Amino acid sequence: MGARGLVLLVALVAAFPSAAYPIPAFARRYRVSCMLCHQPIPKLNAFGEQFAGNGFRFAPGEEPRDTINTGDPELSLIKDLPLAMRIDAYVQGYAKGTVSTDLQTPYGVKLLSGGPISKKLSYYFYTFLLERGEIGGVEDALIQVNDIGGKPIDLIVGQFQVSDPLFKRELRLEFEDYAIYRARVGEVPVNLTYDRGLMATADLAGFTVTGQILNGNGVGAAQPDRTFDSDPGKNLALHVTRDLVSQVRLGAFGYTGRTESDGLGNQTKMIGFDGTIGGGTVEVNWQYLRRTDSRPRFLPTEPKVTVDGGFGELIVQPPKSKWYGFALYNLVTADRPLLDVRLGTPTNQRRYESYSAGIGRAERRNFRWTLEGTYESTRDRFRWTLGLTTAF
């Protein structure tokens, strides 16, 4: 991609709330309830989305708060480093002929930090101190610049989830994942979870457009030559969305990129549509994606592979109630065996389908529990999950 293409992409991207998320450290700094941004945790409400998009400020251009006086007007140092913790614990049961249970306590322990550096600069990161029994490492880690050149253009540099402008996986209420975002075939590392790159944002004539420039091979360790990208090219993603009427949003997504291995290349292309209907008491989210890979196993001759799929999600939150309910349907199909959408390991299945539903209760603003049942039709297996989530 040439310099002209880079400049054009950055100039044409549109505003979508940041990939970063408010955390309890912000509630401490501003002395407000977590409910101001979450309903329930970790799901963001409209104000929480705006707060994150402002670079963790109540208003664009707001000076950093609670800083020490260094005598240097070009230096803003937060008096107390903002840190927060999140703990997720689960008890799961599986049933397929026999019944087994698993104590996943804890499943994950996260350390999070973020905040403004200046009027326009902010940062955010979180690292897994423990993820599924081992050190998980850093996932989100980024620098955010707001209102570049005095224009409503924001830029994020770092690592984040490619799917964040569509739906944020880290903020979902279900244990079951959005399977299509993890779907892969062959040996191509590309999916819509974590990657390193740039994400620029702005509003254009009522449309919200998000553009991304990505390495296209995830957030694994550097190669022996200390480079992170495994090929010379960059992958591009573009998402355009608009509110059609009150509480009805429609979006379109496109992705293209080339991956090379031993002199052979694979071209990955994706196109999709997404939308949200409602909000508040009842919310319906949906996603459809089609993906094609020209040479997913990097063989001299092999047929193109197509993956189709998506999900539908229902969230119900009665007014002034601590209770909430949710349901999620996943479907992914391919004309070549998929990698396991949960584990990333080879399978002999060309289809993944699951039905999930559950209830939850926010006992405190920063503590909730959920009870969820999931039926994986392709494995003919039922899984129930009791989950506990707290952040402080």
Q: How far apart are the C-alpha atoms of 165 and 93, rounded to whole Å?
A: 33
- Say if residue 20's pLDDT is above 50: no
Residue that wins the pLDDT comparison between 251 and 44: 251
Question: 359: burial class by Cβ within 10 Å (0-12, 13-18, 19+)?
Answer: middle
Position 159 scores a pLDDT of 96
- The CATH superfamily holding the domain 3-391 is Porin (2.40.160.10)
- Say if residue 104's pLDDT is above 90: yes
| 218 DSSP 8-state letter | T
What mean pLDDT comes out for the span 68-85?
88
* 12, containing H or E segment: helix 3-12
Position 81 scores a pLDDT of 85
Position 123 scores a pLDDT of 94
Q: How far apart are the C-alpha atoms of 391 and 102, rounded to whole Å?
A: 23
Residue pair 172/311 in contact (Cβ under 8 Å)? The answer is no
Split at pLDDT 50, 70, 90, the class of 8 is: very low
Split at pLDDT 50, 70, 90, the class of 10 is: very low
Tokens of 391: 């952040």
Residue type present at position 283: E
Lowest mean pLDDT among 96-100, 233-237, 292-296: 96-100
One DSSP character per residue, 237-280 reads EEEEEEEEETTEEEEEEEEEEEEEETTEEEEEEEEEEEEEEEET
Residue that wins the pLDDT comparison between 8 and 49: 49
Residue with tokens 């939150």: 317
What mean pLDDT comes out for the span 152-163?
94
Position 343 scores a pLDDT of 83
- Say if residue 245's pLDDT is above 50: yes
What mean pLDDT comes out for the span 132-143?
92
Split at pLDDT 50, 70, 90, the class of 46 is: confident
Position 229 scores a pLDDT of 92
Position 61 scores a pLDDT of 75
pLDDT (tens digit per residue) in 263-316: 899 999 999 999 999 988 999 999 999 999 999 999 999 999 999 999 999 999
Position 12 scores a pLDDT of 37
- Say if residue 6's pLDDT is above 50: no
Position 17 scores a pLDDT of 36
Residue 368 half-sphere exposure toward CB, CA atoms < 13 A: 24
Which residue, 358, 345, 346, 349, is CA-closest to 377?
349
Long-range contacts of 162-165 (CB under 8 A, 24+ apart): 162/191, 162/192, 162/193, 162/194, 162/195, 162/212, 162/214, 162/237, 162/255, 163/192, 163/193, 164/16, 164/19, 164/199, 165/16, 165/199, 165/210, 165/212, 165/239, 165/241, 165/253
351's CB contacts (< 8 A; 6+ apart) are 331, 332, 333, 334, 338, 378
Q: How far apart are the C-alpha atoms of 17 and 55, rounded to whole Å?
A: 9
Position 22 scores a pLDDT of 58
Which residue, 329, 285, 289, is CA-closest to 168?
285
Domain boundaries, the chain: 3-391
Q: How far apart are the C-alpha atoms of 201 and 12, rounded to whole Å?
A: 8
Question: Three-state SS for 4?
Answer: helix
Lowest mean pLDDT among 13-22, 32-41, 209-218: 13-22
Which residue, 144, 123, 122, 152, is CA-closest to 62?
122
- Say if residue 96's pLDDT is above 80: no
What mean pLDDT comes out for the span 28-33?
76
* C-alpha distance from residue 103 to each of 128, 135, 352, 360 (Å): 19, 18, 25, 19
Position 15 scores a pLDDT of 32
pLDDT (tens digit per residue) in 163-215: 999 999 999 999 999 999 999 999 999 999 999 999 998 888 889 899 999 99
